[in-house]
Chains A and B, each alone.
Chain A
Amino acid sequence: MIEVRHLTKQFGHHLAVNDISFSVEKREILAFLGPNGAGKSTTMRMITGFFPPTGGTVIIDGNDIRTDSLAARQKMGYLPENAPVYPDMRVTAYLNFCAEIRGLTGRSRRDRVAETLERCFLTHVRDQTVSTLSKGYKQRVCFAQSILHDPDYLILDEPTDGLDPNQKHEVRQMIREMSPSKAIIFSTHILDEVETVCSRAIIIADGKVVADDTPGGLKRRSSLHGTILLTAAGPLPDDICPYFEKITGVSQVAIVDTEQGRFTLRIFPDDPETSCINRILTAANWKNIDILSVSVEEGRLDEVFRQITADPEDA
C-alpha cells in the first residue's frame, strides 16, 4: 500500500503541495487530476523520493521514503513527466543499465529485459539509439524502464502525453493489464482516460485534494447528472416547457437546440437517482410528439473538473 500522509512541499514562499493525504491499495488504479501547476508532479516526485517533503511523509509498503528511502524506491517504478531517457544509449543497453541498478544480474536480467522489450513492443527497435526514436517510442522505453523490475507500485506522470490515439490506447491497455498485481498512480489531463482506466480519481488544485472519488461518483457531482435529453421531430410547440414541468418529478425543462425540423430539450429531474422517463414519454405521447431519441446524461467529468478546480476568484 502507498500511504501519503500530510505531504507538504514549500518552494521559497510558494506552497506547492499543501497537506495532501491519501492511500492506494494494490489492484487500484488511481488517476491524479488537476490543472497545470496544481502540484501533481511535485507530489509524485516526493512519493518517488526525488526530493524530500517539507512536511509529512510517504510510506511504501511499510518503508518510509524519508528514513528508508532505498527500500521504498526498490519497490517502485517511476515514469517521470516527458519520459527522460539518455539519448546516446541504445534501447537494450539502457534497459540493461536500469536492470543492473535494480539488482538484476546474469540470466534473470537478460530474461527480464527481453520480456519487457516484448511487452512494450520495443523488440524491433532494441538496437537503435534512443535519440533516433520517435516521441512515442521514447515514451515506451521509459515506460519499459519503470516496469522492468516488476515493481508492486507504479507511479506514472502523464504516461500518455504526446502520444497518438493508438499509442494512448496501448499504454492504457498495458496499465489495465498490470493492475491486478500492482497499485498504480498516474496523472493525466485526458478525462476519458479516467473513465476507461482507473478505479479512483483524486483531483488536486492549488496543492490540496479537492475530490477523491470513483469516476462514477465524480460524474454524479455534475449538475447535468441524471438529466434527460429528448430529441423530437417537428417544430417546437409553444407551451412545451411548462407542459413538461407539470409532470411529477420534473423540476425544470430547458431548450437545448432547435434546428431544421427537430428540437432537443433537457429535462432536469427533482432527484437524479429516480427516473421519470416513463411519465415523460407518456406525456409526450399525449401531445403527439414524434420522439427521435431519449438519453439519460451520466454527467461529464470535464464539467465536474472545471466546477471543482475553478478558482473562486475567477468564477
Chain B
Amino acid sequence: MHPKGNFVRILWAIMKRELAGYFGSPVAYVFLVIFLLLSGFFTFYLSRFFEAGQADLQGFFQWHPWLFMFLVPAVAMRLWAEERRLGTLELLFTFPVTPTEAILGKFLAAWCFIGIALFLTFPLVLTTLYLGSPDLGVTFCAYVGSFLMAGVFLSVGSMTSALTRSQVVSFILAVVICLFLILAGFPPIIQMFSGWAPLWLVDGVASISVITHFAAISRGVLDLRDILYYLSVMGFMIVVNGVILQNRESA
C-alpha cells in the first residue's frame, strides 16, 4: 500500500480529469442551464416567490428533491457506464490506483460539479437580501442540506452506473431508487405500512426518506443525526459501488 501523500495525489489527479471531462463536453453546460432554468421556474411560477411576500428561499429549496431526482442521475450515469463502454476502465484499473481512490475521485468530482451548480443559484440569495432581511443561517443550512441530498442521489447514481455499460439503464435505475428515497417518508407510503407492519419497520421506512431529513435541515435545524443519515447512505452506496466494480467479470 502506498503512503498517504499518494492517496491525495491520485485522488486529485482523478478528480481533475473528471471535472475537466465535464466542462470539456456539452453535458456540463446543458446541465447547468437546465438546473438554473428549472429552479428559477419552480421558485417564481410554482412557488410564487414574489406573491408569497416572504423574503426566504423555502419555495426554492422545496423543489430540490424533485429536481435532483432527475438531474443528479443524469450527471452520475456516465461515471462508470461510460468507462466500461469505452474500455478505459481496463486502463484505470490496471494503473497503480486502488478502487477506493478511483471511486472517491470520480464521486467527489461529480459532487463538486453539482456544488458549482448550486453555487450558481446565488442570485436568488441576493434577491432575498434585496427584498428583505432573510435569515442567512437558515439559507446556509438549506444549501448544506441540498448539497448533502445531491450527494446521496449521486452515490446512488454512481452505484447504478457501475452496474451496467448502458447510461440509460443506469439513469432509470437511479431515478427509481431516488424516487423511493423521496417517497418513503410521504404519508400515503407510511400509511400503507402502518396498518400491518410493526412500528420499527414503519419508522425504519420513514427514516430512510431524504425528505424527512431535508425538511429539518432546510428549516435551519442542522442536526447531527440528519448529517449522519446522509453520510451513511452515501458511504453505503459507495461501498456497494466498490463491491460491484471489484466483482465485475468483464470490462
Contact = CB atoms under 8 A, between A and B. Distances in A.
A81 B87 CA distance: 9
Chain A CB within 10 Å — which of B9, B10, B14, B87 has the most?
B87
B249 A88 contact: no
Give the interface residue-count category, chain A: 20 to 34
A101 B95 contact: yes
A51 to B, nearest CB: 7
A80 B90 contact: yes
Contacts of B94: 45, 48-50, 73, 76, 78, 80
Interface in B14-41: 14, 16-17, 20-21, 24-25
Give the interface residue-count category, chain B: 20 to 34
Interface in A84-103: 84-89, 93, 97-98, 100-103
A70 interface: yes
A38 to B, nearest CB: 17
B192 interface: no
Chain B CB within 10 Å — which of A70, A78, A81, A86 has the most?
A86
Given A51-B248, A100-B13, A101-B10, A89 B20 contact: yes
A105 B12 CA distance: 13
Contact of A84 (B2, B90, B97): B90
Interface string B76-101: 00000000001110110111111000
A78 B91 contact: yes
Contacts of A188: none
Interface in B235-251: 248-249, 251
B20 A93 contact: yes
B1 interface: yes
A86 B89 CA distance: 10
Contact of A86 (B2, B10, B16, B21): B21
A74 interface: yes
Given A88-B21, A89-B21, A145-B91, A70 B86 contact: no
Interface string A109-130: 0000000000000000000000
Contacts of A45: 90, 94
Interface of A: 11, 45, 48-51, 70-71, 73-74, 76, 78, 80-82, 84-89, 93, 97-98, 100-103, 105, 142, 145
Interface of B: 1-2, 6, 9-10, 13-14, 16-17, 20-21, 24-25, 86-88, 90-91, 93-98, 248-249, 251
CB-based closest 6 A-B pairs: A84-B87, A100-B13, A48-B94, A74-B96, A73-B96, A80-B90
Given A73-B95, A97-B16, 12 more contacts: A49-B94, A50-B94, A51-B249, A70-B1, A70-B96, A71-B96, A80-B87, A84-B91, A88-B21, A88-B24, A89-B24, A100-B13
